[in-house]
Amino acid sequence: MRAPAIIFLVYWSLSAGAPSAPAADSCVTCHSALEEAEGAKGPAALIKNDVHIAHGLSCADCHGGDRTSDNPDVSMSKAKGFKGKPARTAIPKFCASCHSKPDVMRKFAPAERVDQYELYQTSIHGKRLAAGDTNVATCIDCHSVHDIRPVKDGMSPVHPLHVAETCARCHSDKRKMAPYKIPTNQFEEYRTSVHWEAMTKRGDLSAPSCASCHGNHGAKPPQVESVAAVCGTCHVTFEELYEKSVHKAVFSGVGGGGGCIVCHSNHAIHQPSTAMLVGPNAVCSGCHDAGTAPAQTAAQMAAWIDGLDGALKQSETVLARAEEYGMEVSEAQVRLIDGRENLVKSRLALHAIDPGEMRKPIDAGMAIAKETLAAGQAALREKDFRRWGLALSVILIGIAILAIRFLIRRVETNGKQQGPL
Ligand code: HEC
Ligand code: HEC
Ligand code: HEC
Ligand code: HEC
Ligand code: HEC
Ligand code: HEC
Ligand code: HEC
Ligand code: HEC
Ligand code: HEC
Report d(CA 339, CA 315) in Å as an integer.
10
Range of the domain at 97: 86-217
* Residue 285 domain flag: no
First to last CA, the chain: 136
Question: Ligand 1 center to residue 199 CA distance, Å?
Answer: 42
Tens of pLDDT, residue by residue over 339-395, are: 999 999 999 999 999 999 999 999 999 999 999 999 999 999 998 888 888 899 999
pLDDT of residue 10: 45
73 and 17 housed in the same domain: yes
Question: Ligand 5 center to residue 175 CA distance, Å?
Answer: 14
200 and 246 housed in the same domain: no
pLDDT of residue 421: 47
User: Is residue 331 helix, strand or coil?
Assistant: helix
Report d(CA 365, CA 313) in Å as an integer.
12
Which helix H or strand E contains 299, and what residues bound it? helix 293-324
Structurally, the chain folds into a number of domains equal to: 4
pLDDT of residue 419: 53
Question: Ligand 1 center to residue 92 CA distance, Å?
Answer: 21
Tens of pLDDT, residue by residue over 271-330, are: 999 999 999 999 999 999 999 999 999 999 999 999 999 999 999 999 999 999 999 999
pLDDT of residue 82: 96
400 and 326 housed in the same domain: yes
Which stretches of the chain drop beneath a pLDDT of 50? Answer: 1-5, 7-23, 221-224, 227, 255-257, 421
pLDDT of residue 371: 97
* Residue 287 domain flag: no
Inter-axis angle of helices 355-418 and 330-349, nearest 10: 160
Ligand 7 binding pocket mutation candidate from 202, 227, 269, 347 (most atoms within 8 A of CB): 269
pLDDT of residue 387: 85
pTM of the model: 0.90
Residues with CB under 6 A from ligand 3: 92, 95-96, 99, 112-113, 116-117, 120, 125, 137-139, 142-143, 151, 158, 160, 163, 211, 216-217, 219
Question: Ligand 5 center to residue 169 CA distance, Å?
Answer: 10
79 and 90 housed in the same domain: no
304 and 398 housed in the same domain: yes
Question: Ligand 2 center to residue 62 CA distance, Å?
Answer: 8
Report d(CA 340, CA 315) in Å as an integer.
11
Nearest CA to ligand 5 atom 10: 136
Return all residues near 354 (Cβ < 8 A) that are at least 6 apart: 244, 245
